[in-house]
A and B are shown apart, each in its own frame.
Chain A
C-alpha cells in the first residue's frame, strides 16, 4: 500500500517536473503554427482579387508595387514593365458612385457584369474587387494570379502598414531595428551606471548603507512596467523634448532611458552578487602585495566577476528586448528604420501589444503578429542561451 502511494507521488512529481518543458513546447507550437501560416497567405486582402485589362501584359506585382500604385506614386504601367499606359487604380467602392443600387440589383446580382464593363472600358485599370463578384464573362479581363507573402517581403520589407489595402505591407525590418536600437542603448546607459553602483555597494558602502539600499533596489525591480512607462510619459518625455530641444519627445531615446532605469536594479543586483563572490583570499593577497583598494577592485575583483557581470548584461538586454508596456507608452511607435536615437521608433513587443487586439483571429495580420512573436522568441532564446553559456564557462574555469 505504502509502495503504491509512493509510486503515485513519484509519477505526479515527474509529470510536474516536465511542466515547463511542455509549456515551452506548447508556446513554440502555437507561435510557429500561426506565424508560419503567413507565408501561405495571399499578399492581397483576403476575399479580394486584382483585375487588369486583358491587353495589359503586367504579371506579378509585389506588395510594394501594389501599394505604390494605389498611393498614386507609380502612375504608368511602363515603369512596371507594361506598355505606356496610365495606371487607373479602381477600388470596389467606386462602383457605387458609377451605378445606382437598382442597376446593380437587389442582391448585387448584376455586380459582376458591371465590374466587367468597367474593366473592359479602361485599358489602364487595376481593379481591386471582391473575388465573389469577379465577372463571369472573362473576356477582356485578366485576373492577376494569387501570390503568397514571401519571406523576402517580410524580412526584407521596409514598411509596416499591416492594414494597407489592397496589399498589406509586412516589412519587419524597421521593427527589428527599432527593438535592437532601443535595447542596446538602454544597456549602454544602464551598464556603466549599474556597475558603478554595484562596485559602490559591494566594496565601498558601509554595512548600514548596504542593508538600506539593497532591499530598496530589489523593491524597484518589482515595480510594474506600466508604472515606469507612466513615469516616462509624464516626466521623461517632456523633459527630453525641452531639454534637448527636439521636435518630438517620444523617441527611441526616451524608450532607452526608461528601459535603462528598469534594467538598473537587475544589473546592480547580479553584478554585486558576482563581486561579493570574489574569494576573500584573492582580495587579501592583492592587498598584501601592496595594491591599494582601487587596484584590487579593477585588477582582481572586476576580472574575477567578469563572467557574472556579462551574464547580467546579457540578461538585461533580454529583458529590454521583450519589455512591452513601458516602451509602448514612450517611443512614439513610428515604424521607420531609425537613423538616430532621437526619432520615434516602434519595437516588436509594442507592435504586438498595440495591434493584436484589432487583428481578426486567423487573418493575415494576426499571423504576421505571431510571426513577430516567433522572432522575439528566437531573439530572447539566443540571448538566454548565451547568458547561460557565459555563466557556465565561469564554473569550468
Chain B
C-alpha cells in the first residue's frame, strides 16, 4: 500500500520545465506527426509532444474544447467547426504541412488497372457491384471505407463521390492500415488510402478525372505536377493563443529537415 501511495505521490508532483504540447486528430497525418515529433524531440530534449489519432473530426473538436494544442487534419476545417471556435472567442490558424495523394487500391490478383471518377462513384455508392461491369472478372466488388470520423472519408466523399453518401453498409475500417491489410487479402476488394500506405501487397489503379481520356497512376511526381486528380493538403490547426507553444514545432515541420521527413514517410513535400 505504501508503495502505491508513493508512486502516486511521484506522479502528482509534476516535474517543472518541460514544454508539453498535444497533437491530436487525423490518422492519415498520425505517422507523419509521430515521426516529426520523434525527430524534433531528439534535437530539443526539453520538449514533450503527445501524438494521438482518432480522426480529423476528433482533433478539431478537441481543439474547440481546448483539449489539444494542434489539431492535425486531412481535410479543411468545416464551416461550422470554424464558427464554433470563433464563438468561444478564439481565432484558428491553418498551416498546410504536406500534401497527400489518395490512391485507390485493389487486390493484385485483380486484372482491372484503371477506372474513371464516375466508375469510382458508382462503386462506392453501390451502383456498380461487380468487377465485370468495369472490365474485370465476374467477382463481387467489396468496397472498403474508413470510419466516418476520418478526414479521408470526407475528402473522398466530397471529391470522388461528389458529396453523395457511401452505399449503406459499406465495410468500414478503424484505420487505414486495416484497409491495406484487408484489400491485400480479399480478391474483390477496393479501397482508398494515402500514398504513404501503398505497398507491394496491393495494387494502385490509374484514375481518370476526364471521363476516360487520360488515366494517371498515383505517385509523388503526378501528384506534384497536378495530373493525378485526388490530391489533398494535410493541415495543422491551432488557436492563436497557443502560437508561442506550438510555433517552434510547426516551423521545424516546415523546415527542410522536417520536409525531408515528409517525403520519407511517403507524403508529398510542399
- Cβ of A48: which chain B residues have Cβ within 8 Å of it? 80
**Chain A: minimal CB distance from B149 (Å):** 3
- Cβ of B147: which chain A residues have Cβ within 8 Å of it? 333, 354-355, 358
- Cβ of B163: which chain A residues have Cβ within 8 Å of it? 70, 91
Bitwise interface map of B from 153 to 181 toward A, beta carbon under 8 Å scored 1, else 0: 11000000001111011111110000001
Q: How far is the CA of A160 from the CA of B147 in the complex (A)?
A: 12
Q: Does A140 contact B (CB under 8 A)?
A: no
Contact of A238 among B80, B125, B165, B185 (CB under 8 A): B185
Q: Does B39 contact A (CB under 8 A)?
A: no
Q: Does B58 contact A (CB under 8 A)?
A: yes
B171 touches A332 (CB 8 A): yes
Nearest-neighbor residue (CB-CB) of B163 within chain A: A91
Q: Does B110 contact A (CB under 8 A)?
A: no
B168 touches A159 (CB 8 A): yes
Contact of A248 among B142, B148, B169, B172 (CB under 8 A): B142
- Contacting A at CB under 8 A, from B48-79, are 54-55, 57-58, 61, 64-65, 79
Contact of A334 among B79, B140, B154, B170 (CB under 8 A): B170
- Cβ of B65: which chain A residues have Cβ within 8 Å of it? 360-361
Nearest-neighbor residue (CB-CB) of A237 within chain B: B185
Q: Does A155 contact B (CB under 8 A)?
A: no
Contact of A360 among B61, B79, B174 (CB under 8 A): B61
- Cβ of A250: which chain B residues have Cβ within 8 Å of it? 171, 182
- Cβ of B172: which chain A residues have Cβ within 8 Å of it? 333-335, 346, 354
Nearest-neighbor residue (CB-CB) of A246 within chain B: B186
B165 touches A161 (CB 8 A): yes
The total of chain A residues at the interface (CB under 8 A) is: 45
Q: Does A390 contact B (CB under 8 A)?
A: no
Q: Does A247 contact B (CB under 8 A)?
A: yes
Given known A-B contacts A248-B142, A357-B55, A358-B55, A335 and B83 have beta carbons under 8 A apart:
no
- Cβ of B164: which chain A residues have Cβ within 8 Å of it? 70-72
**Chain A: minimal CB distance from B40 (Å):** 25
Nearest-neighbor residue (CB-CB) of B140 within chain A: A247
- Cβ of B187: which chain A residues have Cβ within 8 Å of it? 247
**Chain B: minimal CB distance from A349 (Å):** 13
B149 touches A355 (CB 8 A): yes
Q: How far is the CA of A238 from the CA of B187 in the complex (A)?
A: 12
Q: How far is the CA of A355 from the CA of B125 in the complex (A)?
A: 21
Q: Does A344 contact B (CB under 8 A)?
A: yes
- Cβ of A91: which chain B residues have Cβ within 8 Å of it? 163
The total of chain B residues at the interface (CB under 8 A) is: 37
Contact of A357 among B149, B181, B185, B188 (CB under 8 A): B149
A358 touches B169 (CB 8 A): no
- Cβ of A360: which chain B residues have Cβ within 8 Å of it? 57, 61, 64-65
Q: How far is the CA of A358 from the CA of B169 in the complex (A)?
A: 19
Given known A-B contacts A334-B170, A334-B172, A360-B57, A355 and B148 have beta carbons under 8 A apart:
yes
Q: How far is the CA of A329 from the CA of B125 in the complex (A)?
A: 24
Q: Does A174 contact B (CB under 8 A)?
A: yes
B149 touches A358 (CB 8 A): yes
- Cβ of A130: which chain B residues have Cβ within 8 Å of it? 79-80, 83
Given known A-B contacts A355-B149, A360-B57, A360-B64, A336 and B186 have beta carbons under 8 A apart:
no
B80 touches A47 (CB 8 A): yes
Q: How far is the CA of A247 from the CA of B131 in the complex (A)?
A: 12
- Cβ of B140: which chain A residues have Cβ within 8 Å of it? 247
Q: Does A67 contact B (CB under 8 A)?
A: yes
A241 touches B185 (CB 8 A): yes
Could you name 12 residue pairs across A and B whose Cβ atoms are closer than 8 Å?
Answer: A46-B80, A130-B80, A158-B168, A159-B168, A161-B168, A249-B186, A328-B174, A333-B171, A346-B172, A357-B58, A360-B57, A361-B65
Residues of B within 8 A of A (CB): 54-55, 57-58, 61, 64-65, 79-80, 83, 125, 139-140, 142, 147-149, 153-154, 163-166, 168-174, 181-182, 185-189
Other A-B pairs beyond A46-B80, A130-B80, 10, CB < 8 Å = A161-B148, A161-B166, A161-B168, A174-B169, A328-B174, A333-B174, A334-B171, A335-B169, A358-B61, A361-B61
Residues of A within 8 A of B (CB): 45-48, 67, 70-72, 91-92, 130, 132, 158-164, 169, 174, 233, 237-238, 241, 247-250, 328-329, 332-336, 344, 346, 354-355, 357-361
